[in-house]
Amino acid sequence: MKNVLIIALREAKRFKSRFRGGSRVLILTILAISLLISYFVAQSGLTLSKGVYTIGASPYGPTIDDSRFNVIIMDNMTGYGQLGDGSIDAYVDVNTVISRSDQRSKYAVGALKQYLEKSELSRITEEYDIDRAYPLRVETHYLNVSPAGAIPVGGSLSDLIGPTVEPVTSTPQPSQQASVNPTPTSIVAPAPTKTSDGTDAAVREQVDQAMNGTQPRFKAQFVSENETIIPSLMNPPMPLSQIILAFLYIVPIFFISVFFTSSFMDEKTNRRLNILMSAPVSALDIIAGKMLPYFSFALVVIVTVTLVLNGNLPLSLAIFIPVVLFIFAIYLMVALFYRTYKDQTFFSMAAITFITGYLVFPALFADVNSLSYISPLTLAVQMYRGESFSILEYVFSTLPMYFVFLIGMYVGVRIFNEEYLMGYGPLYRKSGDAIYLSINRRHVYMSVFLLSVFLIPIVFMVELIILALATNIQQMFVMIVVLLFFCAMVEEIAKSSGIVMLLENGDVSSYRKVLVLSFISALGFWLGEKALLALSLSIMPGSALLNAMSGTADTTASPIILLVLLLLPLAAHFVFTSTVCVSTKKLGARWYFAAVMAGTLIHTLYNVYSMHSMGAF
């Protein structure tokens, strides 16, 4: 602990020395100016699509005040003429909008429609009383659908996670529902009323929100229990503003972590790291010590941002500390992996893309789907909406962060030696060496098992990226095959990498041992895969995904068939992995790529076949 503090102090000094004299003033000035400018630009309302459409407008028509439109006032004869020769995209007349038939003009009208709808609403709100302007109010109620519904729960998923509720015969049981479910279970036709004071308050509130552009009152769901909807004012709360708030935390943390990686690079260049490594301190001391000052900076950022935003401090710390650790762990990998300056730049960019994607993408769907809890930013969004979340959801979103941090620290400590850090080999070589160094050679079986388990989250994320890339392919069948192929390849590399590194370094020599290790690796992967599936299902019961996945369920399967269905993937994983590993052993590590291809090919064929038999195509 003392060593950590000494190194932390040394690191803080090094960092300070970077910013002294004239450069400190200059950098602080640049920082202040940029903050000021960002603030003003944000205040003036930044629209990306400024002036995309050029439109003509009748002098008697509505005023169009939207930066997307470049408006030219002209009478309708000129308007028609200019529309014809393409100088304007659409012409707004007193009562209608005139357009051409080409795409560009159609999009302009689409955008105008969106805008004019809103301006018409504000016009009728001003001109008429609220009962005439908003005559329709829809009161929503939520009813429990019994498991006997059109979407049966169970099926192939129950095949995987064990026996679930048998579908009961489809008889509605209203009396039973009433006792368990507080929401109304019978539909009562109320006597129609001419005016409705009960809903007027709700209408006023929603009109106010829509017209003044204030953020809608945030709700636990798109609409909460028994809420009144006004169709023309119906808009789900998009969590954009809270995401921007979350960025106020993330961006400074990014900058801090860049300094954290630079620190390693700086000391690698001037060879001070070698001196540090020869001192009687452990690798963990050095990494933790170097991380500590930047971690403290990050804490200061979290506290400051929270205080400025007037947020809940303990809750913000609880949400963002795991995020900071996660980001630092990834940047630690960047720092230890890179070979040249340009490497570091590109690795950092990759890290930023990956981290932002992982954190922001799910949070955009806060309140829409429970799977959004995979990102802690969802919690931050909810916190700034004044909503609550359960401890289970907190654990679900932050546990992976700690997990990544611990793995990052473990790998960091294992590979923290001079030879590795200063080495300049190709990237696959560096990754392979990192895996080899992470394996504890005294517990080879356990290591290979754990490696398979721990690589699953990484495999999962890489597969998500492959999925995103594959969506660029227009043809459905080609897309699925390409997706399956590359996913199989990633999985085969993940399962075999440890064994192949052991083979290459001569730690494993017999075919029997290769086969046993392949089985253990397959077992670890299979267990982790199923555990991940079970976990994601438990966090989002009854969601559409589950329904979709169990769509083709055969609920009458006998337990033996269930067992076979469960064990078949394990056997398949074993076959693929041993194919890769045995052929690598036979042909030598130089042919590893070919061996992976062989395994991938069998894997893909198996997947295509099983998808085909499931009726996917």
Partner 1 sequence: MGAALWTIVDKEIRAIGKEKTIVLAIVIQLVIASLSSVILIGLMSFYDPSTIGQNSNIHLNIGIVGDSSSDLIKELRAAHMRTTFYTSPDSAQGDFAAGKLDAVIYVPPDSNGVTDMKLFLPQSDTKTTVILMVLKEPLKKYENYLRSLNGVGVKYTDLAGSSSTTYEFLYSFIVPMLMLFPAFIAGSIVIDTLSEEFENKTIETLLSAPVTLNDMIGGKLTAASFIAIVQCILWPALLLFNHIYIQNLILVLIMAGLISIFVSAGSALIALYFKDRERSQFVYSIVIITVASLSYLIEPSPIGLITRLATGAPDVGVMNVALYVIPVAIMLALIFLNTKRLAAMKA
Query: What residues between 116 and 155 interact with partner 1 by CB under 8 A?
Result: 116-117, 120, 124, 127-128, 131-146, 148-151
Amino acid at 317: L
Q: Tell me how many residues contact partner 1 (CB under 8 A).
A: 138
Q: Is 162 helix (H, G, I), strand (E, B) or coil?
A: coil
Task: Considering only residues 513 through 542, tell me which ones interact with partner 1, judged by CB under 8 A.
Answer: 542
Task: Considering only residues 431 through 460, tell me which ones interact with partner 1, judged by CB under 8 A.
Answer: none
φ/ψ of 538, rounded to 5, equals: -70, -25
Q: Is 114 in the site for partner 1 (CB under 8 A)?
A: yes
Task: Considering only residues 555 through 594, tell me which ones interact with partner 1, judged by CB under 8 A.
Answer: none
Q: Is 483 in the site for partner 1 (CB under 8 A)?
A: no
**Distances in whole angstroms, Cα of residue 557 to Cα of each of 152, 160, 473:** 15, 12, 37
Q: How far is the CB of 297 from partner 1 (least distance, A)?
A: 13
Half-sphere exposure of 132 (CA within 13 A, CB side): 7
Amino acid at 513: K
* 489 dihedral zone (left: phi>0; alpha: psi -120 to 50; beta): alpha
Q: Is 108 in the site for partner 1 (CB under 8 A)?
A: yes
Of the two residues 296 and 345, which places its CB atom closer to partner 1 in the complex?
A: 345
Task: Considering only residues 20 through 49, tell me which ones interact with partner 1, judged by CB under 8 A.
Answer: 21-23, 26-27, 30-31, 33-34, 37-38, 41, 46, 48-49
Q: Which of 43, 472, 475, 556 lies at the binding interface for partner 1 (CB under 8 A)?
A: 472
Q: Which of 10, 73, 78, 104 lies at the binding interface for partner 1 (CB under 8 A)?
A: 104
Q: Which helix or strand (DSSP H or E) is residue 561 part of?
A: helix 559-587
Amino acid at 184: P
**Residue 475 and residue 472: Cα distance in Å, rounded?**
9
**Residue 492 and residue 340: Cα distance in Å, rounded?**
29
Q: Which of 59, 182, 192, 615 lies at the binding interface for partner 1 (CB under 8 A)?
A: 192
Instruction: For the chain, give the longest Cα–Cα distance.
Output: 89
Of the two residues 368 and 575, which places its CB atom closer to partner 1 in the complex?
A: 368
Q: Which of 241, 312, 369, 431 lies at the binding interface for partner 1 (CB under 8 A)?
A: 369
Q: Is 478 in the site for partner 1 (CB under 8 A)?
A: no
Of the two residues 243 and 488, which places its CB atom closer to partner 1 in the complex?
A: 243
Task: Considering only residues 381 through 440, tell me which ones interact with partner 1, judged by CB under 8 A.
Answer: 427
Q: Which of 458, 468, 563, 568 lies at the binding interface for partner 1 (CB under 8 A)?
A: 468
Task: Please give the structure tokens belonging to residue 473.
Answer: 């392919």
Q: What is the four-CA torsion angle of 334, 340, 346, 351, rounded to 10 degrees?
A: 0
Of the two residues 113 and 217, which places its CB atom closer to partner 1 in the complex?
A: 113
**Residue 521 and residue 407: Cα distance in Å, rounded?**
18
Amino acid at 9: L
Q: Is 112 in the site for partner 1 (CB under 8 A)?
A: yes
**Distances in whole angstroms, Cα of residue 439 to Cα of each of 92, 167, 465, 577:** 70, 47, 27, 18
Q: How far is the CB of 113 from partner 1 (least distance, A)?
A: 4
From the CB of residue 400, how many other CB atoms can be counted at a distance below 10 Å? 17
Q: Which of 368, 461, 533, 611 lies at the binding interface for partner 1 (CB under 8 A)?
A: 368
Stretch that binds partner 1, among 100-108, 290-298, 308-316, 445-453 (CB under 8 A): 100-108
Task: Considering only residues 242 through 271, tell me which ones interact with partner 1, judged by CB under 8 A.
Answer: 255, 258-259, 262, 265-266, 269
Q: Map residues 169-188 to x or -, x wherever contact with partner 1 holds by CB under 8 A.
A: -x-xxx--x-----x-xxxx
Task: Considering only residues 342 through 361, tell me which ones interact with partner 1, judged by CB under 8 A.
Answer: 342-347, 349-350, 353, 357, 361
Residue linked to tokens 């955009």: 364
Q: Is 190 in the site for partner 1 (CB under 8 A)?
A: yes
Task: Please give the structure tokens belonging to residue 349.
Answer: 């960019």
Q: How far is the CB of 273 from partner 1 (least distance, A)?
A: 14
Of the two residues 144 and 505, which places its CB atom closer to partner 1 in the complex?
A: 144
Task: Considering only residues 64 through 83, tell me which ones interact with partner 1, judged by CB under 8 A.
Answer: 68, 70
Q: Which of 17, 43, 63, 193 lies at the binding interface for partner 1 (CB under 8 A)?
A: 193
Q: How far is the CB of 135 from partner 1 (least distance, A)?
A: 4
DSSP 128: S
The 3 state secondary structure assigned to 341-406 is HHHHHHHHHHHHHHHHHHHHHHHCCCCCCHHHHHCHHHHHHHHHCCCCCCHHHHHHHHHHHHHHHH
Task: Please give the structure tokens belonging to residue 526.
Answer: 């299979």
